[in-house]
Amino acid sequence: MNHPTVSRSFATAVPSRQDSSCRLSSRPSRLLLCVLAAALVPASALAAVISGTVNNKNTQKYLDRAVVEVVGTGLKTLTTPDGRFSLSGVPAGTHTVTATYTGLDPKSQTITVTEEQAAAVSFELTSDIYELDALVVTSTIEGTAAAINQQRRSESALSVSTMDAFVDQSTGNPGEFLRNISGIQMDYSQNEPNRIRIRGQDPVLTSVTMDGNEIASAASSGTTRNLEVDQLSMAAIESVEVFKAPIPSMSANAIGGAVNFVTKSAFDQKGRRASLQLGVLTDSHDFFGRYIGPGHNDSGRKVSAYPIGRLTYSNSFFNNRLGVVASVGRDESFMLGSSTTHTFNVYNAPAGTGEITPANATIFRNQLLINPNRQLRTRSDYSLNLDFRLNDEITLFLKNTFTRYHSTNRNHSFNLTPTNSLTAYTPDSTLEKYTTTNGRADQGVSVFSKYTDSWQINPGLKFKSGLWQAELVGGLSKSINHYRNDDNFGSLSIFTATGNGWTVTTPRDNETPTAFVQNSGPSVYDLYNYFPNQANLASTNGEHRANHGGMVTSNIRNSSEVRWSGRLDVQRDFQLSFPFYLKAGLAYNETIRDRYNTPKRWYWVGDDGVAGTADDLTTAAQLGRFAERVPVTQGLPDFHIREANYFSTTELFQYWQKNPKVLVENKAYALDQWFQNRRKVNEKITGYYLMGSGNPIPKLNVLAGLRIEETDVAATGIRTLPTSGATSVLPVGVDANSVAGINAKYRFITSTSKYRSDPFPYLHLRYEVLPNLQARASYTEAIGRPDFAQILPSLTQNDTPTSGFAGTITSTRAGLLPQRSQNFDFSLEYYTKTAGEWTFAWFRRDIDDYIASATVPMTSELLAELGLGSEFANYQLATSDNLGNANWDGYELSVRQRLSDWEFMPGFLRGFEIWANHTRIYSMEGTFTGGTTGATITHLANVVDSQFNAGVSYRSPRGRLYVHLKTNFQAGRPTANILATGPSNRANPRLEDYQFWDGELTYALKPNLRLTVTARNLLAERQKNTEYGLVRARQQDTGISWIFGAKYDL
């Protein structure tokens, strides 16, 4: 197993003296050389060396971070992931050597050594849990114990979760077990955990790595840094480390924290390990029944049960010199994803900037969007990890993981929209029941097939000889994303004429209507009353315009991200008056993100193929002939109004293939999208660090260090030149949205930025108050780099004078600096004998150079950065800027306790274990100098200020049955900043409180055969979106996911 970010020495310290030439230098290369030179200081003469391994006697798994101590000498160390340890400087004589590991019984051995002798001793630890029935289900116990032990022995604040503590390992999304870790909260895409939040912060502030190497993410063909974990796989993951307070050997881009996926190694366990998991997935809407297809010619009824499976194999060969871990898995789901959404019209609102509510304004429901949808998701993964010991000093490794993720969206949309005028509503209309006399119906679709391929290839070597150890690691991570519609269109726009009248009844606290009655006008259920919602091509004499609406559009999106990484870590152990180590290293990471979306749009010109005739823009288009062959339904249990007769873009596509003249491609739109969606960024980061750790006094561990990072960014985007006024670039008579106008107004530009951050200091203290009670305190500094969307060039020039300025430049900025935080962390941790914990933690983040949107006067520095001449000196700039500061304070509570630890507990309760963790941000503030000048923000947008995870499990007396009920809760959050004076957005848009309940059950039929049942979202909860204090929409209804499986150990 490869843990590149955490040292495997137990105690270290920094020497008290250093040569004057090695004082902190602004040159990282000189600093690194000084560190390596200091490591050459000779250690004290070696008396003897004791080395060996520690493993679990029953599972034969090597134990990581077990404590091995020579009693009475102060000498102790931690084992490496393959269970190895080495203790040098042991005095000649007879000694007791003890090995301890959380959740297992300690073991001691007596050994006699002479001067300069190399002695070997190994330990096999066990526990009374293994004295239960031979069919006992212990993997969850072992997994929990391993996680607690790693957390306890770590040098900084760390939470860990291991795969062995997770019942269902057949479905591939790693977010499923991430979401139970203290301080972790997942954002969701339908029912799939998608993005990682640590302590409620924006996911873009979280660093995510695999074995310490950066992970590429094509980000759904977008321009965000967010890693979408649902497109990764559990395939080769052994555990997950969540660093609340990172250490110098890790990337500094971690204001929120850092997540590291640790992959498996065959050297972690003696002998062979192989298993096969098979199962089926269904949902509560259909539950092994049959459902009607989602339309788009997916007709008929289908069985709602989908196979899932995983095969894993681990073994070592050639006298434990070659280790092989291989895994292959696949899971599939076809979930209902229907939803209903309402927008609002607001009248008679009070003047000013205060929040608008139904109590101080007239609010009616406006557009009703009914969206039946089903979504297919398949995830296939393959992994192969190889380790090879050249000799006792050098180990080579190669880690490979590949995931293919396929998602299809088959969404229809039936929308009812009253005219936005108070007179369009009858006088008796209310928020709950309104009648309009002037409405319009429209239909649309959202159809795509999304393909994402992701792979990580990490080669490297580890070297250890005497007091020296080094690790050299390379990495290639690549993610490719495509949205395609090979046999369909991606979107549709058709509507009826205005003048329709209807009455809609919707409960105040819901978004789903209970009644709809059409009172006047042609039926909104008859597709023959619809016609294309598009521009009249004849009105521009056949000239295509990019701003023209079209009847149908393709959804073609493409992006790729490649991350190259390399890392060298060198460590020197010392044994002077107390043991310590020095460690130094350098790292290189290069990210290349390339987005090249190429959507297309078509005009409908009818069967005559001539633009401007009746069958283009009226009901003469005869759209009813393209109705879905099989009725499409919402499928929601609380949806009872009449279903629409939906348009089939598949039928239209097939008709177009046979009659190509009915559609004309809008060439101007395609060219405009080609310019606007060509984006590329190349970011190179070089990091250098120095760290040391030791026990300067008994029971106190100190880790201190510095890190320096240099960043070089080159980004390519577009500049939009003025198309009006004296500086217009358009030739006379040319429209800005025509093909000629688009070629005239767009220019590709490249912007660059290079900066070196001030050194990042790190200080971590851990003090053993009592044998099972320890305290931690940390001070670190970190940055949050701008999102790619904020630095990819996009510059628009507007020469209209405003507010005393000659014009406005709207632009992103490659020179935007990272946000920088000062991080304070404190915790008090109590650990029980049976791998339980009681922890209290407090944290604070002080952020300078906070990034926010603002309009600022142009300066000479900004002109130079944007490549603009002095003629723009009197312009204003609308951009993102480093405007001010933000801070927040919070606490975490965490508990895991077996009731069997309490002797007073009656026997029938002794099989229970409870666990819970709670994170709360109790104070939050932001003060910015741009935008609203001097405004104080009391709740930052999209920050979750409260969350908790909790569960209770039961293990039967003989251990065959294991049942686990757990929940995840996240408090609501504003999607716009909340100022001291009220919401910055008068509608106060919010995502409301959200809570999941999950259940797990496993039963051992045989020692090597277990049956499992997993239920996700037991209460079919759906997160609410609100505006004006009213429910606007809820998350798509995917129901309860049920997974029935079996695991067979081969």
CA distance linking residue 908 with residue 912, whole number of Å: 9
Domain ranges across the chain: 49-128, 135-263, 272-1049
User: Span 49-128: which CATH code?
Assistant: 2.60.40.1120
Predicted confidence band of residue 724 (pLDDT cuts 50, 70, 90): confident
Residue 11 has pLDDT above 60, yes or no: no
Residues 6+ apart with CB under 8 A from 756: 708, 709, 710, 711
Report the range of poorest mean pLDDT among 61-70, 230-239, 323-332.
230-239
pTM for the whole thing? 0.87
Instruction: Choose between 937 and 653: higher pLDDT.
Output: 653
Mean pLDDT of 158-167: 77
Residue 7 has pLDDT above 60, yes or no: no
Kind of pairing, strands 306-317 and 339-347? unpaired
Report the range of poorest mean pLDDT among 337-341, 434-438, 707-711.
337-341
Predicted confidence band of residue 954 (pLDDT cuts 50, 70, 90): very high
Q: How far is CA 279 from CA 310, 595, 915, 1023, in A?
A: 9, 38, 28, 29
CA distance linking residue 440 with residue 447, whole number of Å: 23
Mean pLDDT of 44-51: 70
Residues 6+ apart with CB under 8 A from 650: 295, 296, 297, 487, 488
* Chain segment 590-600, per-residue pLDDT in tens: 999 999 889 99
Instruction: Choose between 942 and 889: higher pLDDT.
Output: 889
Residue 130 has pLDDT above 70, yes or no: no
Domain 135-263 in CATH 2.170.130.10? The answer is yes
Residue 137 has pLDDT above 70, yes or no: no
Mean pLDDT of 80-86: 86
At residue 835, the pLDDT reads: 83
Report the range of poorest mean pLDDT among 169-183, 187-201, 523-537.
169-183
Residue 442 has pLDDT above 90, yes or no: yes
Percent of the chain residues topping a pLDDT of 90: 54
At residue 147, the pLDDT reads: 81
Mean pLDDT of 829-845: 92
Residue 459 has pLDDT above 70, yes or no: yes
Mean pLDDT of 230-234: 78
Residue type at 661 in one-letter notation: K
Q: What are phi and psi of 874, to 5 degrees?
A: -100, 20
CA distance linking residue 24 with residue 30, whole number of Å: 9
Q: How far is CA 736 from CA 546, 731, 745, in A?
A: 9, 10, 7
Residue 26 has pLDDT above 50, yes or no: no
Predicted confidence band of residue 174 (pLDDT cuts 50, 70, 90): confident
Q: How far is CA 16 from CA 243, 248, 545, 576, 696, in A?
A: 28, 20, 72, 12, 11
At residue 140, the pLDDT reads: 65
* 722-727 long-range contacts, CB within 8 A, separation 24+: 722/797, 722/798, 722/799, 724/799, 725/799, 725/800, 726/799, 727/797, 727/799
Predicted confidence band of residue 209 (pLDDT cuts 50, 70, 90): very high
* Chain segment 762-779, per-residue pLDDT in tens: 999 999 999 999 999 999
860 burial (CB, 10 Å; 0-12 / 13-18 / 19+) is exposed
Mean pLDDT of 570-577: 85
Percent of the chain residues topping a pLDDT of 70: 91
Kind of pairing, strands 1009-1016 and 1024-1027? unpaired
CA distance linking residue 851 with residue 715, whole number of Å: 19
E strand or H helix at 145: helix 139-153
Instruction: Choose between 286 and 471: higher pLDDT.
Output: 471
Report the range of poorest mean pLDDT among 5-19, 308-322, 713-727, 1018-1032.
5-19
Predicted confidence band of residue 4 (pLDDT cuts 50, 70, 90): very low
Predicted confidence band of residue 139 (pLDDT cuts 50, 70, 90): low
CA distance linking residue 498 with residue 921, whole number of Å: 49
At residue 302, the pLDDT reads: 60
Residue 1039 has pLDDT above 90, yes or no: no
CA 852 to chain centre: 22
At residue 364, the pLDDT reads: 95
| Contact by Cβ (8 Å): 672, 742 | yes
Predicted confidence band of residue 491 (pLDDT cuts 50, 70, 90): very high
Predicted confidence band of residue 534 (pLDDT cuts 50, 70, 90): very high
* Chain segment 1009-1036, per-residue pLDDT in tens: 999 999 988 988 888 999 999 999 988 7
* Chain segment 494-525, per-residue pLDDT in tens: 999 999 999 999 999 999 999 999 999 999 99
Q: Which CATH superfamily is domain 272-1049 in?
A: TonB-dependent receptor, beta-barrel domain (2.40.170.20)
Q: What are phi and psi of 153, to 5 degrees?
A: -90, -5
Predicted confidence band of residue 992 (pLDDT cuts 50, 70, 90): very high
Of 495, 418, 403, the closest CA to residue 172 belongs to 403
Mean pLDDT of 634-658: 91
Residue 36 has pLDDT above 70, yes or no: no
At residue 624, the pLDDT reads: 96
* Chain segment 696-721, per-residue pLDDT in tens: 988 999 999 999 999 999 999 999 99
Residues 6+ apart with CB under 8 A from 30: none
* Chain segment 607-620, per-residue pLDDT in tens: 999 998 999 999 99
CA distance linking residue 574 with residue 324, whole number of Å: 34
CA distance linking residue 172 with residue 403, whole number of Å: 9
Kind of pairing, strands 663-665 and 961-970? unpaired
| Contact by Cβ (8 Å): 308, 330 | yes
At residue 769, the pLDDT reads: 95
At residue 8, the pLDDT reads: 43
Q: What is the total residue count of the chain? A: 1050
At residue 33, the pLDDT reads: 45
Of 137, 134, 140, the closest CA to residue 167 belongs to 140
Please identify which residue in the block is written with the tokens 């060969």: 317
Average pLDDT, the chain: 87
Q: What are phi and psi of 221, to 5 degrees?
A: 60, 25
